[in-house]
């Protein structure tokens, strides 16, 4: 016989299980948006990190809706080349990804990154809520204290705007066109500059 007590107990168990499910669903899939110059390179760097499930190249921070690569490259849209990183924070934390980000860029360049100059190629971290802002601010404060170089860090921490995925041919470019990608990255001097700043190329390490 199902008593009133049994029904009450079942109700409590249901609420408890829903709370647990809610916690799990909130704790695992997360996104982080950053700009670090050429999005092909940023995508490649972050997809090497354990716990990152996908990295999408795109555009954000500007005023033009649904921009094309050609429009962004004109440097008139206000958009950054950026990436949206999808990750499981049960495996890798937002703080760890933020700390890793600094080691993949030149945060001292206010004009762009490496051989790419102009507003689309500047660096930035885009926070999507107060928690992300706090994590990014803390990571920036830490790297300012521990950086092995004297130059000032100019990378901005900005509120996120609409993120527009880039054209399909830009997605996973380093996988689709490995020879062209390797030539571009080498000729642009990205890894040489990162090594001169940080002492090693972090994205080439095991994660």
Question: Quick one: which of 147, 139, 127 has its CA closest to 194?
Answer: 147
CA distances from 120 to 8, 80, 104, 152, 177 (A): 58, 4, 17, 20, 22
Among 38, 41, 115, 188, the one annotated catalytic: 38
Over the Cα atoms of the chain, what is R_g?
20
CA dihedral defined by 177, 194, 163, 49, rounded to 10 degrees?
70
* Residue 103 near residue 155 (C-beta atoms within 8 A): no
Q: How far apart are CA 109 and CA 111, in angstroms?
A: 6
User: For residue 156, what are the contacts with CB-CB under 8 A and spacing of at least 6?
Assistant: 122, 123, 124, 125
Annotation says 188 is catalytic: no
Which residues carry out catalysis? 38
């Amino acid at each position: 016989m199902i008593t009133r007590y049994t029904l009450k107990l079942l109700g409590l168990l249901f609420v408890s299980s829903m709370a647990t499910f809610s916690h799990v669903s909130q704790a695992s899939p997360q996104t982080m948006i950053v700009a670090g110059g050429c999005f092909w390179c940023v995508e490649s760097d972050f997809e090497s990190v354990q716990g990152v499930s996908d990295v999408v190249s795109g555009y954000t921070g500007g005023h033009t809706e649904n921009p094309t690569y050609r429009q962004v490259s004109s440097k008139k849209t206000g958009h950054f080349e950026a990436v949206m990183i999808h990750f499981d924070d049960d495996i890798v934390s937002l703080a760890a990804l933020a700390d890793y980000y600094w080691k993949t860029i030149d945060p001292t360049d206010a004009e762009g990154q490496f051989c790419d100059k102009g507003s689309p190629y500047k660096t930035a971290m885009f926070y999507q809520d107060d928690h992300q802002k706090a994590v990014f601010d803390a990571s920036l404060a830490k790297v300012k204290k521990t950086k092995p170089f004297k130059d000032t860090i100019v990378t901005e921490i900005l509120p996120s705007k609409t993120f527009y995925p880039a054209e399909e041919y830009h997605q996973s470019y380093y996988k689709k066109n490995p020879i062209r990608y390797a030539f571009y990255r080498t000729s642009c001097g990205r890894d040489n500059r990162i090594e001169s700043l940080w002492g090693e190329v972090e994205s080439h390490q095991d994660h």
